[in-house]
Structure 1
Amino acid sequence: MQPPQHPTLVEVAAAAGVSVASASRALSGASASPKMVEAVRRAAAELGYVPDASARSLKVRRTEQLAFAVADLGNPVYVAMMRAIEGVVRAAGYRLVVSATGADPQMEVEVIRGINRGYADGLIVSPIRITDEVVTEIRRARVPVVVIGTLPASTGIDNVRTNSARGVGLAVAHLVDGGRRSIAFVNGPQDTVPGAARAKGFGKAMQAAGLAVADGQTVGATDFTHDAGDKATTDLLARYRPDALICANDLLAIGALRALRAAGLRVPDDVAVVGIDNTELAELATPALTSVSLGSEERGRIAAAMLLDRLGERGRPPQRASVSPRLVVRASSDPVAPPASSPRKRKQP
């Protein structure tokens, strides 16, 4: 069987009574009279003509695609970012392609090198491990790259960041205000940017509150996942009994809730729990999870706008933006109940 024959641009031009060059201009949005555009588009619709996107991208050196690379496609933080980015770039006429790096800096390098081969017009990347090689490859990239994450200003790379250390400080202050004093911290891997920043924020906030951090009061999970949070919390409970837990993200907090239930501890009666990221999971948890919002959607929208700006003006100065954290309080961190007042003694007659 012969493959179906697709109408060509030559046939569209003949049907519209114009030259092939004129038909191409009319369909690509280049300079053409309204009358010509109408005639060419009508002919294309009647013939069922579909432009060859790959050939067109070779001609104009544009793919009309933008890329977004993240550590873990299953993490709801990146899902929120992706939705926000997709909304911005779609309105500008771009498709968004998404890839996962597994938090491996070498995979991030490969993604950055890959866009140099022409599969996308620009890239937004959110690395949790930023190495010198990653920064070097971003600088070498032939297309614009925006980083969601903390970079030194000297790198000269467009980036959107948040102060997650300050976010941990908000969580500590909230728990102290609620009467908690034995506050433990379940972190992710400390060789990551968020892990290092959140560990620093916890130590600083506890010191500011006048609370010592004992050995065994902090634990590092192997990953930022709920299974890792379950195991890390179980390990912590074997050596330390907190009255509150701060977890370095909501996935870790979901795992912590499971471990606390397994240990027979009630949340928030026995142990208050606070997460970070304020994802959809926080609202769906039982009890609903207090969490620090780091503005995932806002960071995504800002990064998308930065990338579009860079595509429109390659020579503009590097842009840097910061999104402030905010605490979203829910039932998992209710204050310690005040002690019941002792019954009044009856006066003797």
Structure 2
Amino acid sequence: MVRVTITQVAAHAGVSVASASRALNGQIASAETVAKVQHAAATLGYVADATAQSLKRGRTKQLAYAVADIGNPVYVEMMSAIERVVSASGYRLVLSSTGTSSSSVDVVRDLGRGYVDGMILSPLRVTDELLTALAKTPTPVVVLGRLPDDVNLDTVRADSLTAMRLVVGHLVAEDRRDIAFVNGPVDTTPGAFRRDGFAAAVLAHPLLTTRSVDAEDFTISAGYAAARQVLEGDRRPDAIVAANDLIGIGAIRAAEDLGLRVPHEIVVTGIDNTELAGVVRPGLTSVDLGAEERGRVAAELLLARIAEPSRAAHTVTVAPSLVVRGSSVHRPNTQGHASPADRSTEATGLGEERAAG
């Protein structure tokens, strides 16, 4: 099919090409000219050339959202929040899967091609190569995750340290004394911070017996394999703290396959409070890291950066809250939210500070 040109539209409407262009782009033109040009465009089936319009505006009206695993429900929740914010401002959201750390670098480097006006990036691993690419890109970027303090970029963070304090405190209150932590890869940002958070949380409870194992990935299958390793060991724990909900779901399945009842013989908790946590049976107790809120804040920071490129960089930390379900207590709150007793241990509010530099 041959594309209809603006020259043809102008000829059909009986006006100059310049007049047709002004009428179609909302620029100054008489009502009569606008009506004739729009009628001609509809009659001929004219579709504006988005590339040409982008060159004229100096903007693509597209923003990118780049994540390691587009199938992870926490990223999907963030994406929904981001899309709501940016679409309200007239932007289209483009999704990109980065996978490995090298792919994250490639995605950032490609920003120089000008295919989007900005990017929200959630890197699984922060390498020197990625930091160099971020420093060189001319396109605004907001990072969902943690960067070194001396990096001058807008960032939105989860609070994994407080998350671990909440979940360990809950298990102690449930009289659990032998806790196994099933983490993801520790060379990732979430793996490192959740490891450190767990270590700090258990220091406050010196009577606890603990151990840790690292799953190969933050997935159900990797969580299943790592949990079986723990549960088939010489000393079975009475609780498993999973580094995310997918690992936690894998741990529940591993316990069931070994004939262990959850929560009667082993309790399991997760982190992220994804939709899956409320769907599995028993429901998975999880720490909500505010994925939706993080996505919303990241989108607003990116739009603000595009509007005012010279503004100071901001770091926003979204507070976590504990959501108790049946995987860790015999009588869970049926509403799937933190019970009144748990609310006293929730972290609330948002912390915002200007990043160094």
TM-score, normalized by length of structure 2?
0.88
Q: Tell me whether 1:292 sits opposite 2:290 in the alignment.
A: no
Q: Counterparts in 2 of 1:80-159, with a 5 A limit?
A: 80-102=77-99, 104-159=100-155
**SS across alignment from 2:69:** coil
How far did 1:152 drift? Answer: 3.2
Residue 164 of structure 2 corresponds to 168
Aligned-residue RMSD, C-alpha: 1.8
- Write the deviation string for residues 113-134 of structure 1: whole angstroms up to 9, x where unpaired: 1121122111110012111221
Q: Which of 204, 207, 223 matches 1:208?
A: 204
- Contact (CA 8 Å) 1:179, 1:335: kept in 2 or not? no
- Write the deviation string for residues 51-95 of structure 1: whole angstroms up to 9, x where unpaired: 011222233332221111111111111111111111211221221
- Write the deviation string for residues 213-247 of structure 1: whole angstroms up to 9, x where unpaired: 44xx2111010001100000111112231111110
- Write the deviation string for residues 228-269 of structure 1: whole angstroms up to 9, x where unpaired: 000001111122311111100000001101110111111111
**SS across alignment from 1:167:** helix
Alpha-carbon spacing, 1:321–1:26, altered in 2? closer, same or farther (3 Å): farther
- Contact (CA 8 Å) 2:177, 2:208: kept in 1 or not? no
* One-letter code aligned to 1:158: D
* Whole-angstrom distance in 1 between the partners of 2:133 and 2:27: 35
* One-letter code aligned to 1:161: R
* One-letter code aligned to 1:247: A
How far did 1:158 drift? Answer: 0.8
- Contact (CA 8 Å) 1:178, 1:335: kept in 2 or not? no
Residue 317 of structure 2 corresponds to 322
- Contact (CA 8 Å) 2:177, 2:209: kept in 1 or not? no
Residue 278 of structure 1 corresponds to 273
Residue 177 of structure 2 corresponds to 181
How far did 1:282 drift? Answer: 0.2
- Unmatched 5+ stretches in structure 1: 337-349
* Whole-angstrom distance in 2 between the partners of 1:59 and 1:194: 42
Residue 58 of structure 1 corresponds to 55
Larger radius of gyration: 1
* Whole-angstrom distance in 2 between the partners of 1:87 and 1:36: 35
Residue 4 of structure 2 corresponds to 7
TM-score, normalized by length of structure 1?
0.90
**SS across alignment from 1:183:** strand
* Whole-angstrom distance in 1 between the partners of 2:293 and 2:27: 34
Alpha-carbon spacing, 1:299–1:32, altered in 2? closer, same or farther (3 Å): farther
How far did 1:29 drift? Answer: 3.0
- Contact (CA 8 Å) 1:175, 1:335: kept in 2 or not? no
Residue 47 of structure 1 corresponds to 44
How far did 1:283 drift? Answer: 0.7
- Write the deviation string for residues 123-175 of structure 1: whole angstroms up to 9, x where unpaired: 11001211122112112111111100012342110111111121011000111
Residue 227 of structure 1 corresponds to 221
Q: Tell me whether 1:332 sits opposite 2:327 in the alignment.
A: yes
Q: Which of 17, 20, 28 matches 2:17?
A: 20
Alpha-carbon spacing, 1:34–1:200, altered in 2? closer, same or farther (3 Å): farther
* Whole-angstrom distance in 1 between the partners of 2:89 and 2:34: 22
* Whole-angstrom distance in 1 between the partners of 2:304 and 2:11: 39
* Whole-angstrom distance in 2 between the partners of 1:5 and 1:247: 56
- Write the deviation string for residues 252-309 of structure 1: whole angstroms up to 9, x where unpaired: 0011011101111111111111100000110111101111011111111111111111
**SS across alignment from 2:248:** helix
Residue 304 of structure 1 corresponds to 299
